[in-house]
Amino acid sequence: MDNTIVSKTPMNSSQYLSDLQDTIEPVRQTIIHHPVFEAIKTITHVQIFMQHHIAAVWDFMTLLKSLQIQLTGVTLPWEPVGSPSVRRMINDIVLGEESDLDMNGHPTSHYELYVAAMAQCGASIPREEWPVAAIQFTDHTIAVATTGPLSDVAAVFAFGREDLIPDMFRTILATLLVQHPAQLEIFDFYIRRHIEVDDGHHGPIARHMVESLCGDDSARWASATQAVLAALNARIRLWDAVYNAILAADARDNG
């Protein structure tokens, strides 16, 4: 019997990245094809969705700012921090998310744009009155952003948010927006803007950033993969809550 130990060929960052994507894909598909999207059939349903989803729009900036604080120079006196290419990636995303242009060409953050969309749709709700599921979702995100390893934060940002958003919003676009343009004009713009920015620009940047931070370190990739899975499962719980809230609203209306 040959007892020779055959060592595995070391993997490079692109192979680790591919493994991560393969591992999370089943959960990702569960999110993209969640029954909540087929359930959205009325303005009331859209309002319920937005009142939950606003939490993800808001705490997205917590993840992004965590990365900016750790990967760029934001303290005084200023000193250059880390890789210039990673700094450029982060600052480029911050520019687009924190000070994009609205449909009239005025600077705004995507969060403020979403709040305006909620007001137009009749879905406005103060943060202290967000649904419990929305608050639980933000609690998970904030814990990752404030206590997780940097590479975990970057992975959750890339694969729990940036990489996920375009497919989710394409699903929503296939439902109600054409039927209620006056109430959903800003929401429609927000969705289309996210598809344009995230699919074509921010998504690839975020994935490259994860590769840069994890490198060829198998332990970092393993931790990042688990962090992304936890974030995706938190998203499923949020979608479950939206779905149940829509069913409950329909039961009240039909009762």
pLDDT digits (tens, 9 = 90+) for 240-252: 999 999 999 999 9
**Chain segment 75-130, per-residue pLDDT in tens:** 999 999 988 988 998 999 999 899 999 999 999 999 999 999 999 999 999 999 99
In a domain, 147, yes or no: yes
Helix (H) or strand (E) holding 118: helix 110-121
84-98 vs 43-71: helix axis angle to the nearest 10? 150
**Chain segment 37-73, per-residue pLDDT in tens:** 889 889 999 999 999 999 999 999 999 999 999 999 9
Q: What is the mean pLDDT of residues 21-48?
A: 92
What pLDDT sits at residue 7? Answer: 40
pLDDT at 4 over 60: no
Domain containing residue 203: 18-73+82-254
Q: What is the mean pLDDT of residues 229-236?
A: 97
Question: Residue 188 is part of a domain; what is its CATH number?
Answer: 1.20.910.10
In a domain, 4, yes or no: no
What pLDDT sits at residue 197? Answer: 76
Q: Which of 8-22, 155-169, 219-233 has the lowest mean pLDDT?
A: 155-169
**Chain segment 127-161, per-residue pLDDT in tens:** 999 999 999 999 999 999 999 999 999 999 999 98
Residue 128: left (phi > 0), alpha (psi -120 to 50), or beta?
A: alpha
Q: Tell me the pLDDT band of 176, cut-offs 50, 70 and 90.
A: confident
**Chain segment 190-204, per-residue pLDDT in tens:** 988 887 776 666 778
pLDDT at 224 over 60: yes
pLDDT at 255 over 80: no
In a domain, 1, yes or no: no
Of residues 188 and 134, more confidence is placed in: 134
pLDDT at 211 over 90: yes
CB within 8 A of 94, min separation 6: which ones?
A: 64, 65, 68
In a domain, 3, yes or no: no
Which residue, chain included where needed, has tokens 């919003």? 169
CA distance 43 to 121: 8
Helix (H, G, I), strand (E, B) or coil at 79: coil
pLDDT at 1 over 80: no
In a domain, 165, yes or no: yes
In a domain, 170, yes or no: yes
> How is residue 64 written in tokens?
């992004």
What whole-number percentage of the chain has pLDDT above 90? 69
Under a CB-based contact definition with an 8 Å cutoff, are residues 133 and 236 in contact?
no
CB within 8 A of 252, min separation 6: which ones?
A: none
Count helices and strands (H / E) in the chain.
Answer: 11, 2
CA distance 102 to 110: 9
Number of domains composing the chain:
1
In a domain, 10, yes or no: no
> How is residue 229 written in tokens?
């899975």
In a domain, 7, yes or no: no
CA distance 125 to 168: 23
Going by the DSSP 8-state scheme, the letter that residue 82 receives in this structure is: S
User: Which pTM was predicted?
Assistant: 0.90
Helix (H, G, I), strand (E, B) or coil at 101: strand
What pLDDT sits at residue 2? Answer: 45
